[in-house]
């Protein structure tokens, strides 16, 4: 089949630079005929953010598509990890870009800030779409209720967010994928029973050490250590008991189902097994992405305080305080981060039966 011959491609036309470079229109020039010099910087920085957001959405939607089937192929998981890693590289640029913005002083910003009211970064529908695709639903946000959140968007953008929200998010698809992972149980072996035995041995040893150190501890210090140990026992019990886990889900302390949580923990515990390398990288890159957006929100909050002090934001929010609370309270994959609570040393891991070990490895015929 002959390759189709196309007309010569010109750099500026291919990138549509005439359109792209003609979209920086300072309000200070339009409304006051006296351009505030740093408004162009402000516009370009935010336009670049939106371009990168578009690319992140492009990557996330492809991941949603690959995870939407009944199974996830190994080669697709390789692609998913690569695309998540690409997103984290982009996020590094988003964080670094704040340093460029901070070359603008607070008084430079005040020259045009009031002209932007009531526009706000809160109305970035692309960033809101990213959050929903990741798994942060509009009714699960903290520091702002759903009505206020959607009320800040125009009808077209609101419809766009609701449409994205009507489909499964990466968090929901990851849960379904984790629930399908085998290896932890067969007719002769229940990994979680063995894991619980090992946990009890570890915690009993810890209690023994506390009592053996009575001579060096006063009564209050010993009581605190024993109280902390009992709290640790309760934390492990809440994971291993389905009813306790579900109670924590109902009050918003956990998100993933118990089965998904246990299988994610198994992946982290046995990450060295060949077949779990990619699942481990997938879970860690999800956490990387979540962490980097949290970092970006924190940096944004600090920049807002530096620029505005305690002034309210242009969109009517509490400015720095709102951004700080959003960073702390709107993490998506917190359950994955909290799995570190349940990790134990490799030397203490239950020994897996040979048939499970074989399924976790790669075996080639000679």
67 annotated as a binding-site residue: no
Q: Is there a binding annotation on residue 109? A: no
Would the annotation count 45 as a binding residue?
yes
Q: Give the span between the Cα atoms of 128 and 91, in whole angstroms.
A: 15
Does 321 count as an annotated binding residue? no
DSSP string, 140-158: G-SSS-HHHHHHTS-HHHH
Question: Looking at the DSSP assignment, which residues form a beta bridge with residue 189?
Answer: 186
Q: Give the span between the Cα atoms of 273 and 296, in whole angstroms.
A: 34
Task: Determine the distance from the C-alpha atom of residue 70 to the mean position of all C-alpha atoms in its chain, rounded to a whole number.
Answer: 24
Q: Is 113 annotated as a binding residue?
A: yes
Q: Is 64 annotated as a binding residue?
A: no
Closest CA to 348 of 174, 141, 148, 203: 203
Are the CB atoms for 181 and 269 separated by under 8 Å?
no
- Whether the Cβ atoms of residue 77 and residue 278 lie closer than 8 Å to each other: yes
Angle 79-81-84 from CA coordinates, rounded to 5°: 110
138 a known binding residue?
no
Which residues partner with 185 through β-bridges? 190
In eight-state DSSP terms, residue 8 is P
**Burial of residue 168, with CB atoms counted within 10 A of its CB: 0-12 exposed, 13-18 middle, 19 or more buried:** middle
| 83 labeled binding residue | no
How does DSSP assign 49-111, residue by residue? HHHHHHHHHHHHHHHHHHHSSSS--HHHHHHHHHHHHHHHHHHHHHHHHHHHHTTS-HHHHHT
Q: Which residues are annotated as a binding site for substrate?
A: 42-46, 113, 314
Q: Which residues are annotated as a binding site for heme?
A: 300
Q: Which residues are annotated as a binding site?
A: 42-46, 113, 300, 314
């Amino acid at each position: 089949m002959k390759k189709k011959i196309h007309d010569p491609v010109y750099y500026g036309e291919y990138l549509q630079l005439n359109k792209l470079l003609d979209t920086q229109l300072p309000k200070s020039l339009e409304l006051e005929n006296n351009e505030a010099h740093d408004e162009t910087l402000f516009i370009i920085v935010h336009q670049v953010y939106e371009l990168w957001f578009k690319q992140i959405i492009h990557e996330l939607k492809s991941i949603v598509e690959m995870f939407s089937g009944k199974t996830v192929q190994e080669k697709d998981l390789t692609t998913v990890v690569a695309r998540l890693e690409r997103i984290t590289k982009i996020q590094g640029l988003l964080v670094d870009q704040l340093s460029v913005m901070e070359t603008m002083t607070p008084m430079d910003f005040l020259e045009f800030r009031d002209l932007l009211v009531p526009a706000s970064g809160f109305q970035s529908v692309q960033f809101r779409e990213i959050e929903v695709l990741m798994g942060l639903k509009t009714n699960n946000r903290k520091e702002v209720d759903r009505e206020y959140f959607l009320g800040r968007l125009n009808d077209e953008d609101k419809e766009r967010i609701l449409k994205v929200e009507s489909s499964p998010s990466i968090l929901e698809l990851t849960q379904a994928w984790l629930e399908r992972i085998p290896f932890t149980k067969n007719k002769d072996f229940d990994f979680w029973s063995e894991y619980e035995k090992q946990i009890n041995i570890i915690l009993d040893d810890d209690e023994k050490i506390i009592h053996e150190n009575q001579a060096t501890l006063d009564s209050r210090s010993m009581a605190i250590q024993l109280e902390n140990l009992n709290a640790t026992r309760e934390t492990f019990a809440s994971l291993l008991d389905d009813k306790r886990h579900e109670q924590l889900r109902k009050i918003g302390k956990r998100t993933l189902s118990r089965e998904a949580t246990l299988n994610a923990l198994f992946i982290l515990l046995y990450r060295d097994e060949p077949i779990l390398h990619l699942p481990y990288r997938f879970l860690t890159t999800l956490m990387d992405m979540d962490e980097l957006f949290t970092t970006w929100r924190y940096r944004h909050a600090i920049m807002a305080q530096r620029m505005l002090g305690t002034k309210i934001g242009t969109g009517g929010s509490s400015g720095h305080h709102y951004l700080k609370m959003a960073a702390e309270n709107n993490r998506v994959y917190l359950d994955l981060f909290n799995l570190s609570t349940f990790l134990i040393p490799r030397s203490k891991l239950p020994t897996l039966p040979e048939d499970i070990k074989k399924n976790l490895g790669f075996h080639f015929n000679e």
